[in-house]
Amino acid sequence: MKITPPTQVSQQQITLDVSEIEPLLQAPAMDLKPFPEAQITLRDGRIMYVRQATLEDVPLMLEQFERVMKVKRDFYDIVGVRTYAEILGWATKRLKDPFHLIGMIDGVWAGLANGRIFDEDVAISLHTVTFVRGGRIGYVMYYAKTLYALEIANCKEWWSTFESYAGWRLGALDFAQPSKPWPQYQHELGGSRVYYSTRKYWDTVLKPYTLKMVGSDFDFNVTDEIREKNAVLKLPEELAI
């Protein structure tokens, strides 16, 4: 758009360096604690290692979700596309305060849970996707990111929504999370209903129930053996979703 200046100006053109524009496009990062590495024994006896993803993981993460977005059933295509964009938005600094948690079993990527911190009070759940069957890995990964949002980032509320029936069954119905009035409150993933947990609800209801479903809790004293087994992230040969 061009409009004639309403007064005489001495410079007809102003040149900007892109580094001057970037601060207006990139949201300043909050000072957030990272998710500490942890291990957890699954119900089937396998041990899963959970850590926060790093930018070095991004190429493999994008490769995996290129596979997910091609699955034309159970909403995996839209989940794959959106999660791909969330990972890319993190890598290019176009997503405010995201976090991506990776679950691994003997180095094989078993599940992803991600979200972002909206502000000091609210954290947004984005997606939870598992690639390996058994062990209630979906419960574990959702538990990990809720724990991060409410106990480590110390937000007051955790907002979720769900694209798939399976996701809604686990996160909304099974966890009995209440919902915000709609359309006054809308989730950023398509403007759908917001299901939420407060810290009090988490402590008294959601966390105890999740631990019962999972069967054990995180051990943040990761052994050298488990760390070594998961030193290198590997994609699963098959996409078991």
Sketch the domain layout of the chain as residue ranges.
34-229
pLDDT per residue over 197-206, tens digit each? 999 999 999 9
- Cα separation, 127 vs 75, whole angstroms: 12
What confidence score (pLDDT) does residue 240 get?
Answer: 86
What confidence score (pLDDT) does residue 241 get?
Answer: 87
pLDDT for 124 beyond 90: yes
What confidence score (pLDDT) does residue 187 get?
Answer: 97
CATH number at 34-229: 3.40.630.30
Tokens of 173: 């119905």
Tokens of 80: 């794959």
pLDDT per residue over 205-220, tens digit each? 999 999 999 999 999 9
pTM confidence score: 0.94
Taking a C-beta distance cutoff of 8 angstroms, is the pair 114, 127 a contact? yes
pLDDT per residue over 41-97, tens digit each? 999 999 999 999 999 999 999 999 999 999 999 999 999 999 999 999 999 999 999
